[in-house]
A and B are shown apart, each in its own frame.
Chain A
Amino acid sequence: MHDREQELAALFAAAVAGDAAAYRRFLQLAAQLLRAWLRRRMTQRPDEVEDVLQEILLALHNQRASHQPGQPLGPWMFAIARYKLVDYWRRHGRRAAHLPLDDEHCELAAVETEQANTARDLAKLLAALPAKQREPIRLVKLAGLSVSEAAAETGLTESAVKVGIHRGLKALAALIRKEK
């Protein structure tokens, strides 16, 4: 368990320093841990686990600057997870009173790798974004262009491309919150 906290923290530290491969491994490991965490809390609605998990991962990404360097990563990650789970329940008309307060260090024990498909359609969600957010996300995040290549392609400045991605992914989270 302790090793896993260290592994997560090391991957995250490398990720915020700019290592995209480490970031990918961080998100994969986080997804496995959070899926197991959600399964234990959503025993009545196992088919909605993956929906909430995707919201949490998007939130972890959008708020990744909010982790204070030097502070433990597990409590930060699970605070975001709990916030999004409570938010999900409230939006779906359910009380969150039965959400147990837990020791996050124990939560790092279990992983769940089997993943379900959600009804959410990424292409449809992206299509709802304004062009100056959608195109940077499409070019950089889906087609794999660098920021400068995407800037040349769209005629935007590099900082406009970065801002478009940043705002677009936040807008994506807001769109998902509005869907039922």
Chain B
Amino acid sequence: MKTDELITLLAAREGGVAPARPLARVAPALAAGFVLALLGVLALFGVNPELASDASLGHFWARPLFALALLAAVLPALAACSRPATSARLWPLALPLLALWLGAALQLVSAPAGERGALLLGNSWQSCAASILLLSLPPLALLLAALRALAPTRLALAGALAGLASGCLAALAYTVHCPELALPFAALWYVLGIVLSTLAGAWFGPRVLAW
């Protein structure tokens, strides 16, 4: 094949194209992914029976706010990463993390020494991170499918950011089940769950996003 043949084919009857809008692709995947994660919580773990009374406590909202803030920080980076030649700014990801860790550190130092272990481990530390990872897989699949319609060139990074966003959705959904309100618990196990889903995304990225 001559290259001119290919050019003639590509240009023939070409009617123009609307520029892609990455967030318009990603948003439905996020919404559907969150619904799936929530259904996963209901089906696998059940609702925290104390949810209504917990939700009236101010510090209940630390975990959902953290998950939403991290999600808000990752979305612009994910959108940038879905096009060639636009660089993703990653430093905003650090802000919600630092805020959570700072709050957790304050809670730890102000607690009596004997209670610090309980603040970190709660009653469910064995299952928290794995549950978030499990719940993040359906949103991750939807987000990767959305990215396949776009043009990421750094596939591991794009996959990792998709995994991070999925982890945020999963963590948000998991707060409906999880009775642990201590910040140190979230700072350790929620963050670990989100890190695991980020790693899962980074692993899948090069395998499913190549074009």
A82 to B153, CA, bound (A): 9
Kindly state the interface size class of chain B when it binds its partner.
20 to 34
A34 to B84, CA, bound (A): 16
Inter-chain contacts of A20 with B (CB < 8 A): 11-15
B10 touches A27 (CB 8 A): yes
Inter-chain contacts of A174 with B (CB < 8 A): 211
Interface stretch, picked from A1-9, A94-102, A127-135, A142-150, is A142-150
Given A65-B17, A65-B19, the answer on whether A75 and B5 have CB atoms closer than 8 Å is no
Inter-chain contacts of B11 with A (CB < 8 A): 20-21, 23-24, 27
Inter-chain contacts of A71 with B (CB < 8 A): 85-86
Task: Tell me the count of chain A residues lying within 8 A, CB to CB, of chain B.
Answer: 55
Given A54-B6, A57-B3, A173-B211, the answer on whether A79 and B85 have CB atoms closer than 8 Å is yes
Inter-chain contacts of B86 with A (CB < 8 A): 68, 71
Inter-chain contacts of B9 with A (CB < 8 A): 122, 137, 141-142
B150-200 interface with A by 8 A CB criterion = 150-151, 153
A80 touches B84 (CB 8 A): yes
B19 touches A16 (CB 8 A): yes
Q: Smallest CB–CB gap between B59 and chain A, Å?
A: 41
A115 touches B3 (CB 8 A): yes
B57 at the interface (CB under 8 A from A): no
Cβ 8 A contact of A62, one of B5, B6, B14, B211: B211
B115 at the interface (CB under 8 A from A): no
B102-155 interface with A by 8 A CB criterion = 150-151, 153
A41 to B133, CA, bound (A): 42
A31 touches B211 (CB 8 A): no
Q: Smallest CB–CB gap between A78 and chain B, Å?
A: 7
Q: Smallest CB–CB gap between B85 and chain A, Å?
A: 4
Q: Smallest CB–CB gap between A20 and chain B, Å?
A: 4
A27 touches B211 (CB 8 A): no
> Which of A28, A137, A145 counts the most chain B CB atoms within 10 A?
A28
A120 to B20, CA, bound (A): 30
A169 to B17, CA, bound (A): 15
B18 at the interface (CB under 8 A from A): yes
Inter-chain contacts of A117 with B (CB < 8 A): 1-2
A13-55 interface with B by 8 A CB criterion = 15-21, 23-24, 27-28, 31, 50, 53-54
A80 to B152, CA, bound (A): 9
B17 touches A64 (CB 8 A): yes
B94 at the interface (CB under 8 A from A): no
B13 touches A65 (CB 8 A): no
Pairs of residues from A and B, 8 with the lowest C-beta to C-beta distance, nearest first: A18-B16, A79-B85, A79-B84, A24-B11, A66-B151, A63-B151, A65-B20, A83-B153
Q: Could you list 23 A-B pairs, sorted by A, with CB under 8 Å?
A: A18-B16, A19-B16, A20-B11, A31-B7, A50-B3, A53-B3, A58-B6, A58-B10, A59-B211, A65-B18, A65-B19, A78-B85, A79-B85, A79-B153, A83-B84, A118-B2, A137-B9, A140-B12, A140-B13, A141-B9, A142-B12, A145-B13, A147-B15
